[in-house]
Amino acid sequence: MRMKRLFAAIAVATLTLTLAACGSGGDSAGGGEQPFIAIVSKGFQHQFWQAVKKGAEEEAAKQGARVTFVGPATEQEVEEQVNMLTNELAKSPDAVGFAALDSRAAAPLLQQAKSQDIPVIAFDSGVDSDVPVTTVATDNKAAAAEAAKHMAQRLGGKGKVAMVVHDQTSKSGTDRRDGFREWMRQNAPGITVLDAQYGGGDQLESANITKSIISANPDLAGIYASNEGSAIGAIKGVQESGRKNITVVGFDSGKAQIDAIENGVMAGAVTQDPIDMGRRLVSSAIKAINGEQLPKTIDTNYYWYDKTNIDDPKIQAVLYR
C-alpha cells in the first residue's frame, strides 16, 4: 500500500513538473542574476545535515550563489522527500543537489530535471540513474571497512557482532553495511557478523532493535551502527540493557557520540567531513551550471576517531556538534 502511494505521488509530481516547466517564465525562483541551487537532503534532524547545510551556505556566499536546503523530518519519509524534490524543481533552479533516501524512487523526477536542462548533483548517497553529473560523497564502503578493522582489533579477531543500519534503500546504507561485512569476511574469519537490522536512522527504533539483539544474543561482543541516529540509538540500547562488555563502533559524530566516546561508552567511530561535502556540492553545481565537465564521483574524506585522537586538531575540525 505504501509503494502504491509512492508511485502515485511520483506520477503526480512528474505531471506537476511538466506543467510548471511549460508555464515557467522570467519570474521563476531561478530567474535572477544569482545562480540558484536547490538542495534536498535525506533529513534535517541530525547534526550531520546541519553541517552539510553550513558548508553549502558558506560556499554559496563565496560564489555569489543562492541556495535553499530542505529535507524530511526523518530519514524514513521517502514520499515526503519526493514531494520536496517536486516542489524545488518547480521553482526552476539552475541546479539541484539531491541526497536520495531511496536510490530508485526519484528516478522519474531526475529524468524530468534532465529534460529541463537542470543539472543534478547527487551527494551523500548515489542514485540508480545516470542523470546526476557527479556524486559528492564519502567512499562509504572504505569508511565502513575502517570501522570493521577497528572493531576487529578491539575484539582480538573473535566474537559475534551485530549491525544496526539506517536503511537498505540508499546507497550509503547498503555500502556501509556491505563494506563492514566484506572486510570482516576477508580479514577476520573469527568474527561472526549477524544479519543487519534496520532502524531507519531513528534513535528510538535503533535503541529498541539493539536491546532485542542483545536479548537474543547473550554472547554478543560488538555492535556496529551505520549513521548518527543509529549510533546514538545503539548506545542507548546498550546502556538500557545493562550490558557493560559490548564494544560499540559507529559512523558520523555529533555531540551524543562524542560524549559517549569521551566517557568510554563507545569505542570509536568514523566521521565524515560534512562541511566540506556541502562546499563541494555547491562548487560542483556552479561548475555544472557553467557547462564544465565534472568527474563521475568526488570523494570527500573520512577519519577514524576515538579517545586517543579525539583532541587532535585535524579530528576536531571535522566533528560536528
- Note the pLDDT of residue 254: 86
Q: How do residues 57-68 score in pLDDT, each as one tens digit? A: 999 999 999 999
Q: How do residues 177-228 score in pLDDT, each as one tens digit? A: 999 999 999 999 999 999 999 999 999 999 999 999 999 999 999 999 999 9
Q: Please name each of the domains of the chain with its CATH number.
A: 36-138+274-300 (3.40.50.2300), 140-272 (3.40.50.2300)
User: What global pTM score does this model have?
Assistant: 0.82
- Note the pLDDT of residue 20: 40
Is pLDDT of 321 > 80?
no
SS (H, E, C) the chain: CHHHHHHHHHHHHHHHHHHHHHHCCCCCCCCCCCCEEEEECCCCCCHHHHHHHHHHHHHHHHHCCEEEEECCCCCCCHHHHHHHHHHHHCCCCCEEEECCCCCCCCHHHHHHHHHCCCCEEEECCCCCCCCCCEEEEECHHHHHHHHHHHHHHHHCCCEEEEEEECCCCCHHHHHHHHHHHHHHHHHCCCEEECCCEECCCCHHHHHHHHHHHHHHCCCEEEEEECCHHHHHHHHHHHHHHCCCCCEEEEECCCHHHHHHHHCCCCCEEEEECHHHHHHHHHHHHHHHHCCCCCCCEEEECEEEEECCCCCCHHHHCCCCC
Q: How do residues 248-278 score in pLDDT, each as one tens digit? A: 999 999 899 999 999 999 999 999 999 999 9
32 vs 40: which has the higher pLDDT: 40
